[in-house]
A and B are shown apart, each in its own frame.
Chain A
Amino acid sequence: DAGITQSPRHKVTETGTPVTLRCHQTENHRYMYWYRQDPGHGLRLIHYSYGVKDTDKGEVSDGYSVSRSKTEDFLLTLESATSSQTSVYFCAISTGTRGELFFGEGSRLTVL
């Protein structure tokens, strides 16, 4: 099984503060993704990466930035958190099998 670790798993922060979520993989997979999950909206892609320093925007990228300086780490940053960014954030990797993403256990972010 692919190993993905997300940190922190839970975070409460205030509007306007910066937040960084970290995704670490142990499998050396090329593609990594950040999704957010909200009731009534399902899973929506924020950003993805296809290699070190190679990233692209997803469906809901406004207000988010990402960085990937090492194969194993993919960081999601909220420069100035807003209440609308309260969500559960999932990191995923592509296993190489068509249609298969392996997801982490999620990071629950609450912005007050």
Chain B
Amino acid sequence: QQQVKQSPQSLIVQKGGISIINCAYENTAFDYFPWYQQFPGKGPALLIAIRPDVSEKKEGRFTISFNKSAKQFSLHIMDSQPGDSATYFCAADYGGSQGNLIFGKGTKLSVKP
């Protein structure tokens, strides 16, 4: 299966709260998992990425947690800010044609002041 399933479709969080977005995959050939952030009217941009031999990666307020046995990974945004309001995409890469990523369907995050 080439799909990456992402949930929820939309998320509303209060300022200062924790935003959590989940993704799941079936294809065990996937070996790299980037997350992208997209602001309205702009193209997606790489936010953070993780390899499956690492259980957690943190960059500032953004953390990826990875559960290889469950074939699931998630993005946590700590201390969410209104400026984090964007659409987030998880993705998976199986190392084939360079950059040929399989994207989840996206989560629209709104952080309320």
How far is the CB of A85 from the nearest CB of chain B, in Å? 19
A residues in contact (CB < 8 Å) with B: 30-31, 33, 40-45, 48, 50, 56, 58-59, 90, 92-94, 96, 98-106
Query: In the bound complex, what is the Cα–Cα distance between A59 and B42 (angstroms)?
Result: 23
A99–B101 CB distance below 8 A: yes
Q: Which residues of B contact A31 (CB under 8 A)?
A: 97-99
Q: Are A103 and B45 in contact (CB under 8 A)?
A: yes
Additional 5 contacts, C-beta under 8 A, given A50-B97, A100-B99, A103-B45: A42-B104, A44-B103, A45-B101, A50-B98, A90-B44
Count of CB-CB pairs between chains A and B under 8 Å? 69
Query: What are 23 pairs between A and B in contact, CB < 8 Å?
Result: A42-B103, A42-B106, A43-B89, A43-B103, A45-B100, A48-B97, A48-B100, A56-B97, A58-B100, A59-B2, A93-B99, A94-B99, A96-B98, A98-B32, A98-B49, A99-B32, A99-B46, A99-B91, A99-B93, A100-B46, A103-B45, A105-B42, A106-B42
Give, as a whole number of angstroms, the nearest-CB distance from A19 to chain B: 20
A90 B49 Cβ-Cβ under 8 A:
no
User: How many residues on the B side are at the interface (Cβ–Cβ under 8 A)?
Assistant: 25
Q: Give the residues from 79 to 113 in chain B that come closer than 8 angstroms, CB to CB, to chain A.
A: 89, 91, 93, 97-101, 103-106
Chain B residue with the shortest CB-CB distance to A58: B100
State the CA gap A94–B45 with chains docked (Å).
Answer: 12
